[in-house]
Amino acid sequence: MTAGMDLQQILDVSPFQRWLGLKLVRADAQGLEISMAWREELVSNPHTRWLHGGILASLVDLTGLYAILASGNVATATADLRVDYHRAATGGTLTARGRVLKLGRAISCAESFVTGADGKLLASGRGTYIMAPPA
């Protein structure tokens, strides 16, 4: 990790992540927790008011990558992403929790779980991430 920058700052370097409005709740070697406030622009359908699947996929993707950063390792990009949609998200602050499943030299694997304000599981998934070459 860049000296002098914490994970919240790194999250906010990204224009898209700033737009999502992410807040780092907790981070350590065992994983991290990110929250995101509800916003009408994130909605898929104004009638059902379900959150767009692409937003949940974004949360799963970035939470896994930041779980690798929180473990003290550097991933530079996502190789592949898989998301399961368990329940429609229809309002309230979302919480994404990520943890590393396997650290590797070339690629690492992390999983993330997204819950709603009532604690119910909304989506979860995994990413495979490309690791930075050793310095």
**Sites of contact with a copy of itself (CB under 8 A):** 13-17, 19, 40-46, 50, 52-55, 57-59, 61-62, 77-88, 101-102, 106-107, 109, 121, 124-126, 128, 130
Q: Nearest distance from residue 126's CB to a copy of itself, in Å?
A: 7
Nearer to a copy of itself, 76 or 93 (CB): 76
Rounded CA Rg of the chain: 14
Instruction: Provide, rounded to whole angstroms, the least separation between the CB of residue 91 and a copy of itself.
Output: 14
The number of residues making up the chain comes to 135
Q: Which is nearer to a copy of itself, 27 or 43 (CB)?
A: 43
The tokens 């700052």 sit on which residue?
9
CB of 68 to a copy of itself, least distance (A): 14
Q: How far is the CB of 1 from a copy of itself (least distance, A)?
A: 14
CB atoms < 10 A from the CB of 30, how many?
11
